[in-house]
Amino acid sequence: MMIWIVFAIMTAAVIAVLLSPVVKARPLAQGQDRNAFDRAIFRDQLAELDRDVERGAIAPAEADAARNEISRRLIAATAPPHASRPLGTPSMALLAALIVPAVALPLYLKAGSPQLPDMPLSTRLENATETGDYEAMIVRVEKHLAQNQDDVEGWKVLAPAYRRAMRWADAAEAERNILRLSGPTANGLADYGEAMVMANQGTVSAEAHEVFRKALGLDAKLPKARFYAALALKQEGKSAEAKAAFEAFLADTPADAPWRDMLLAEMNDAVARPPALDQQTMKDAASMSPEDQQAMIRSMVDGLEEKLKANGDDLQGWLRLIRARGVLGDAGKAKLAYDTAKSQFKDNPEALAALDGLAQEMKIP
C-alpha cells in the first residue's frame, strides 16, 4: 500500500512540475520575433570581426568584405515580427499531462513487482535469523568460518545446513573439518562418508569406503556406515559379499527403522546391478534363461536411453546408462552415452566431474 502512495505522490509531483509553466505563464517579454535571435548573432559576428581587425588577425580588405556580408544579412533579418499569437488554454496542457499516468500505470502494472521488498545483501545477512532466511544464515556462518577456521561449532552448524541445501561437496568439507577439530567419531565419519558419496552422485569412492570402514571400526553396528559399506561392495562388483553384508544388516534392522525400505530396495537391486529394476521385474528376470535375462536388461537399458533422449536433464539417469552400457560390455554405446551426456551438461562442471569420474572408472576413453 505504502508503495502505491509513494507512486501517487511521484506522479502528482511530475504532473505539477510539468504544468508549472502553464500556471505561471506570462507573455514572452522578448524573443517573440525569431529574427531578433539572428540579429543578435550577426551583431556578435560584427563585434568579433572588429576584434579580429584590431588584433590584426584579418586583412582589412577581407574584413570589409565580411562586414558587408554580415551587414546584408543583418538587414535581411529585420523583417517585422509575427503578430503575437494568443496563449494556449491551460486546460489543454492539463489534459495532455494525463498522458503521463496513462502510459506509466499500465506499463508498471505489466512490468513492476510492487510486492517485492529490497534485499540488500548486508541487511539480509543481518536479519537472517529473524527472517529465517536459510541461505543468508549459511553465508553468515561461512563468513565467520573463513576468519575462524577452527571453530568447530560453526562447522557443526554448516554441515547439516549444506546437507539440507544439497550442497554435498561443501557438506563433505564441513564434516571433514569437524573430524579434524573434534577427533573421529563413528557418527562423524559416517556423515563425512555419506556426504562424499552424495557429492559423487551416489557412487562410493574408494576413499569413502575407507572412511566407512573406519567408522565401523569404531562402531560395528552403526547403520549408516553398514549400509554404505555394503553399497560400496555392491558397486565394486563384489555381489556375494555385498549380499551378505546387506543381509546381516537387515537382520539387525528393526521392522520400523526408517531406512528399512531403502535397504530392501538396494538389496534387491544388488542382484542385477545395471539399471535399477523394480521387484516384479526382478522376479520375472530370475525365472528367465541367462540369454533372456541379458536381452531384457538390454531392452530396459534401451528404454532408459529413450527416456533420456526425451528428457536429458537427469544426470543420475545418464550415469546409470553409462554404467549399464559399460557393464554389459557395449564399449561403443557407453562412449556414445558418455559423449552425449557430456555435451548435455557442458555448462555444469559438477556433472562433468561426475561423468569424467565414471568414465575413468569404466575405462571409457
Partner 1 sequence: MIAEFGHFALILATGVALYQFLVPLVGAHRGDTALMRTGISAAVLQLALIAVSFVVLTHAYIVSDFSVQNVYENSHSAKPLIYKISGVWGNHEGSMLLWVLILAIYGGAVALFGRNLPLELRSRVLAIQGAIGLAFLLFIVLTSNPFQRLDPPPIEGNGLNPILQDPALAFHPPFLYAGYVGLSIAFAFAVAALIEGRVDAAWARWVRPWTLAAWMFLTIGIAMGSWWAYYELGWGGWWFWDPVENASFMPWLVSTALLHSAIVVEKRNALKIWTVLLSILAFSLSLMGTFLVRSGVLTSVHAFAVDPERGLFILIILCLFIGGSLALFAWRAPMLKAGGLFAPVSREGGLVLNNLLLCVACLAVFIGTLYPLALETFDGPKISVGPPFFNLTFGPIIMPLLLLVPVGPFLAWKRGDMAAVWRRLWKSLAVAVVIGLIVLAVNIRGPWLAPVGMAMAAWLVLGAIADLAARIGLFKVPLSSSWHRFTGLPRSAIGGILAHGGLGLMIAGIIAISLWKVEVIVALKTGESADVGAYTVTFLSETPLSGPNYTGRAGRFLVKEGDREITTLVSEKRNFQPSGMPTTEVGLLQTLLGDVYVVMGDETTDGARAMRMYYNPLVNFIWLGAFIMFCGGLLSLTDRRYRVGAPKRAISAQAVAAE
Partner 2 sequence: MTRKQKRLTMILGGLAVIGLAIGIILYALSGTITFFHTPSDLTATGVKPGQRIRLGGMVEDGSVKKGTGTETTFAVTDQIKTITVSYNGILPDLFREGQGVVTEGSLKEDGTFVADTVLAKHDENYMPRELAESLKEKGVKLGKGADQ
Residues in 16-55 that interact with partner 1 by CB under 8 A: 17-22, 25, 27-28, 30-31, 34, 36-42, 44, 48, 51, 55
Please tell me what DSSP assigns to residue 161: H
Beta carbon nearer to partner 1, 101 or 357: 101
Binding-site member from 1, 5, 80, 113 for partner 1 (CB under 8 A): 113
Please write down the long-range contacts of 177-180, taking CB distance under 8 Å and 24 or more positions apart. Answer: 177/149, 177/152, 178/152
**Residue 161 and residue 138 in contact, taking contact as beta carbons nearer than 8 Å:** yes
Beta carbon nearer to partner 2, 74 or 336: 336
Sole window of 178-186, 276-284, 293-301, 333-341 interacting with partner 2 (rule: CB under 8 A) = 333-341
Which residues lie below 8 Å from residue 167, measured CB to CB, with a gap of 6+? Answer: none
**Residue 175 and residue 188 in contact, taking contact as beta carbons nearer than 8 Å:** yes
The answer to whether residue 88 forms part of the interface with partner 1 (CB under 8 A) is yes
CA-based nearest residue to 35, from 68, 1, 80: 80
Sole window of 95-103, 214-222, 256-264, 311-319 interacting with partner 1 (rule: CB under 8 A) = 95-103
The answer to whether residue 306 forms part of the interface with partner 2 (CB under 8 A) is no
Cα of first residue to Cα of last residue in the chain, in angstroms, is 62
CA-based nearest residue to 203, from 343, 365, 323, 342: 323
**CA atoms of 252 and 274, how far apart (whole Å):** 27
Among positions 240-269, residues that touch partner 1 (CB under 8 A) are none
The answer to whether residue 363 forms part of the interface with partner 2 (CB under 8 A) is no
Taking the complex as a whole, how short is the minimal distance between the CB of residue 174 and partner 1, in angstroms? 17
Indicate which of partner 2, partner 1, none lies near residue 309 (CB less than 5 to 8 Å, by partner kind): partner 2
Binding-site member from 340, 353, 357, 362 for partner 2 (CB under 8 A): 340
Sole window of 21-29, 107-115, 235-243, 342-350 interacting with partner 2 (rule: CB under 8 A) = 342-350
Question: How is residue 139 written as a grid cell?
Answer: 553465508
Binding-site member from 46, 53, 66, 331 for partner 1 (CB under 8 A): 66
Sole window of 132-140, 185-193, 252-260, 343-351 interacting with partner 2 (rule: CB under 8 A) = 343-351
Give how many residues touch partner 1 by CB under 8 A: 72
Which residue stretches of the chain are H helix? 2-23, 34-55, 60-76, 90-97, 99-111, 121-126, 128-131, 134-147, 152-164, 168-182, 186-199, 206-218, 223-235, 239-252, 260-269, 279-286, 290-310, 315-327, 331-344, 349-362
Sole window of 110-118, 237-245, 253-261, 292-300 interacting with partner 1 (rule: CB under 8 A) = 110-118
Taking the complex as a whole, how short is the minimal distance between the CB of residue 279 and partner 1, in angstroms? 40
Residues that bind partner 2 (CB under 8 A): 309, 312, 336, 339-340, 343-344, 347
